[in-house]
Amino acid sequence: MISQSVVVPVGGESLAGDVMVPASARAVVLFAHGSGSSRHSPRNRMVAEHLRTAGLGTVLMDLLTEREDREDAWTREHRFNIPLLGSRVAAVIDWLEEQSDTRGLPVVLFGASTGAAAALVAAAERPDRVLTVVSRGGRPDLAGDALPRVQAPVLLIVGGRDQEVLRLNQEAARRLGVAHSLRVVPGATHLFEEPGALEEVADAAREWCEDHLG
């Protein structure tokens, strides 16, 4: 297992991240956080740990710099800047291709909340590098015109009690021109805090990745 903290240069800024790659990893999962979250998100870290048991590497990145994060805490101006977040996810995909431990590995994008929109934008920008996209309680509708340009298959996971987000996911799914699946976790709310809900998300993500890795 290769485990390291990294700093990725992106457009004159620096983004902090944590990379863990098991020996003989079959793919690497890049997490795109949203709505004021960061690489320290306990929910994404739990899912990442689950995916590593399936032989997948994980990359948890901050998509905002420390300065931007402080600004966003007051203004919330950056967390909804999908073009900015999407461009940074794409830049991290490029960086992964330059690293000896992840070069050539298929990339899975795992987006939560607004991070799902950023992941879909990046998938549209890097069609040759992205194997698939998984969204957890995401806002794929915010990807806008990028949705019909996505070429990778998409898994949308939504809580059954997260009714407005479920509606938005259903509308976004109709705009996708690729294979996709909408998985509803019964009884779960937006953060999947109910007992067993997040485990169901992790299982669904793992199975989806394994299916597309063949």
pLDDT tens for 24-62 read 899 999 999 876 666 778 888 999 999 999 999 999 999
Rounded to a whole number of angstroms, the distance between the first and last alpha carbons of the chain is 23
CATH of the domain at 56: 3.40.50.1820
Q: Give me the domain span that covers residue 32.
A: 2-213
pLDDT at 23 over 90: no
- Burial (Cβ within 10 Å: 0-12, 13-18, ≥19) of residue 193: exposed
Domains held by the chain: number? 1
pLDDT score of 37: 64
Give the Cα separation of 120 and 143 in Å (integer): 6
Q: How many residues does the chain have?
A: 214
pTM above 0.75, yes or no: yes
pLDDT tens for 159-204 read 999 999 999 999 999 999 999 999 999 999 999 999 999 999 999 9
Give the pair of three-digit tokens for residue 184. 């509803």
Q: How far is CA 37 from CA 60, 113, 147, 172, 186, in A?
A: 11, 9, 23, 23, 24
Give the pair of three-digit tokens for residue 61. 């990145």
Handedness of CA 129, 132, 134, 135 (dihedral sign): positive
Handedness of CA 178, 204, 32, 6 (dihedral sign): negative
